[in-house]
Structure 1
Amino acid sequence: MVDSDISSTPRPILQDHSQKQFSDYSGTGGYFEAAQTWIDETFCGHIVEKLVANIGDRTDDKPLRVLGVGSGSGEIELMFLNKLLIKFPKIHTCVVEPCAISLVKYQAKIKEHAPDITFDWQNHKFDDFVENQQENSHKYHFISACNSLYFAQNLNEALQSLHDMLVPGGILLVTITAEYAGFGKLWRAFPYLRPVTSSQDGSSGTTSPPRHHRNSAHVHDALRQLQLPYLIDAYVCLYKITHCFDEEESEERNQAIDFVTYPIKLRDQPKDLFQQVLACIKDCSVQRGNDWFFQAEHVCFFITKPT
């Protein structure tokens, strides 16, 4: 049974252009293949088996309750659900995604691949969803927030809210770019390219980096401030950015550069800075044949709510 209605009106966080860029580079760069390998090798041990140990296998005929935050068009989340179905034959999933176009694509996928899972579609920003969640008081066995907490207004509050939504023994999975590689390394080298807008992350009383450039270090700090125990893992994915290094300007070159340096338009910067950033991008990349791939490492945080 699938609920095909999308609530509310479209309120995308990312512009359609950026959504398309992510889709294009994810597909050509092997992002989903890297994620699938990591899920095959790690997800069952860290999530599925621990959930069985913590809450049982749901033989009481009640569904496993799952929450996806920033689910996009569902490629990664459906990989999670396929693994969970091995031990939990009934699953109810709440999908929170601000881009209505992505939700439509997600729905098209489940008609083919997830007929036995029920869905609740929430076309909201995360912070708006949390406000409604406090009224409904739903609890979940598994929550995933994969590369989505960049956009929460307050990181500490977002993590605490997600932890509060777990049942005892439930598990929260957060993935975010690593501070020491790829995007994290690039923005650490050129912090002055960040947008001027910043946000407050609460308990430290200091101004955080702009939310687009949060990385694993910020999640580490937030979890420690909140005193939430966690385990970590990581995996590398590659984005094909060969056109970044074309000598002649073209639409393909501009799109590739914009993808890596989002939300800054690097081509509008002074020429010497442009070249310095390109050199750093190349330093964060690997060459395979005639192609260049940007190495974006993702750190995975596993946070279990005590029973």
Structure 2
Amino acid sequence: MVESDNKSVMLIPIFNDQAYYTKAFNYGRSTGNYVEAVQKWADASFCGHVVEKLVANIGDGSDDKPLRVLGVGSGKGKIELVFLNKLLLKFPKIHTCVVEPCVNLLTQYQHNIKEKATNLTFDWQNRTFEEFVKLQQENSLKYHFISACNSMYYVQNLQEALQSLYDMLAPGGILLITISADYAGTGKVCRTFPYLGSETSSQDESPNTASSSPHYRDSADVHDALRQLQIPYHIDTYKCHRMITRCFDEKESEEGNLALDFLTHTLRFRDAPKDLFQQVLACIKDCSVQRGDDWFFQLEHVCFFITKPT
């Protein structure tokens, strides 16, 4: 509940409506260069950070055993396929377990790999990470590479999730976590307005305590959790952008609503109190650059690399 001008308005998290979230997610991705930025980063950094180190740690798969990969919050699979294609350069066989709670996104992933599944096998898990962890406790399967790209926002307990991921690594395995930087883009907006995408009140939640909310975790939260767990890591970063011109439409539009709701993690954010709406919009603009008539929201992601000792 957010109080503004003596009125109380409930801000509803966008993830409460999975169908709308998927639509907003797809629209947001269609207006940005996220996949291209990850591809460029992977071309420059992924092989050195992951592929070559895995070869050194566990061998090159010449024993005919598949490389075991786990994807957490895999979405449509476009990012994971970038990583899998890099891994296939050194590992002839790969078995991937895909954990994705949104059935629509999982279906799109399955469609995306139809023509790219040579030497790849999949185990599809349409469930939350917490549900998967409970199942995982019943077997001892370990993974050589785990990717959790932009998925730690939604786990119930960040520290427990990171410990579970680390425990799932095979000796010599590597865990990659990517998440928004706390000092730029989405991280900056969320730390300025920590109650967005949450049903808690702006009167009850400060930027510090809001970091426990699943929608507002960022790189600083992952840093803190890994340090508390005493899990060593190293980091890298990459930047991307999203065109958000329609956010500033004077008249309401579907595209503008999708862009706003995805940025704020809030259903029907345009219905928020006028003063809050204007403050958030100003913050979004402050995190953007203008090119001609268009506005581009500047995003930065921090990549955490964690290696399990052999």
TM-score of the two chains, using structure 1 as the length reference: 0.90
CA displacement at 1:265 relative to structure 2: 3.7
**Residues matched between the structures, number:** 289
Is 1:69 paired with 2:72?
A: yes
Give the Cα–Cα distance (whole angstroms) in 2 for the partners of residues 41 and 23 of structure 1.
26
- Of residues 83, 86, 89, the one that matches 1:86 is 89
Q: Where does structure 1 differ by over 6 angstroms across 4 or more consecutive aligned residues? A: none
Alignment of 1:33-182 (within 5 A): 33-182=36-185
Is 1:263 paired with 2:271?
A: no
- What is the DSSP-based 3-state SS (H/G/I as helix, E as strand, rest coil) of the residue aligned with 2:212? coil
Is 1:189 paired with 2:192?
A: yes
Give the Cα–Cα distance (whole angstroms) in 2 for the partners of residues 276 and 105 of structure 1.
36
Q: Does the 8 Å CA contact 2:197/2:264 hold for their aligned counterparts?
A: no
The residue aligned with 2:284 is 281
RCO higher in structure (CA 8 A, sep ≥6): 2
Q: Quote the RMSD (CA, aligned, Å).
A: 1.7
Read off the aligned partner of 2:256 and give its amino acid letter. R
TM-score of the two chains, using structure 2 as the length reference: 0.89
In structure 2, the CA distance between the partners of 1:118 and 1:192, relative to structure 1 (3 Å rule), is closer
CA displacement at 1:14 relative to structure 2: 5.8
Give the Cα–Cα distance (whole angstroms) in 1 for the partners of residues 124 and 274 of structure 2.
46
> Residue deviations 1:239-281, cap 9 Å, x none?
1110111222222222221121112543222222211111110
In structure 2, the CA distance between the partners of 1:124 and 1:244, relative to structure 1 (3 Å rule), is same
More deviation, 85-94/22-31: 22-31
Q: Does the 8 Å CA contact 1:13/1:98 hold for their aligned counterparts?
A: no
**% identical equivalent positions:** 69
Q: Which residues of structure 1 form unaligned runs of 5+?
A: 1-11, 199-205
> Residue deviations 1:129-149, cap 9 Å, x none?
000001012100000000011
In structure 2, the CA distance between the partners of 1:170 and 1:292, relative to structure 1 (3 Å rule), is same
Is 1:16 paired with 2:19?
A: yes
The residue aligned with 2:256 is 253
Read off the aligned partner of 1:232 and give its amino acid letter. I
Give the Cα–Cα distance (whole angstroms) in 1 for the partners of residues 27 and 40 of structure 2.
20
Give the Cα–Cα distance (whole angstroms) in 2 for the partners of residues 106 and 207 of structure 1.
32
Alignment of 1:234-253 (within 5 A): 234-253=237-256
CA displacement at 1:116 relative to structure 2: 1.5
Give the Cα–Cα distance (whole angstroms) in 1 for the partners of residues 287 and 24 of structure 2.
19
Give the Cα–Cα distance (whole angstroms) in 1 for the partners of residues 140 and 132 of structure 2.
12
Q: Which residues of structure 2 form unaligned runs of 5+?
A: 1-14, 202-208
Give the Cα–Cα distance (whole angstroms) in 2 for the partners of residues 60 and 52 of structure 1.
12
In structure 2, the CA distance between the partners of 1:13 and 1:230, relative to structure 1 (3 Å rule), is farther
Give the Cα–Cα distance (whole angstroms) in 2 for the partners of residues 18 and 123 of structure 1.
16
Read off the aligned partner of 1:161 and give its amino acid letter. S
- What is the DSSP-based 3-state SS (H/G/I as helix, E as strand, rest coil) of the residue aligned with 1:186? helix
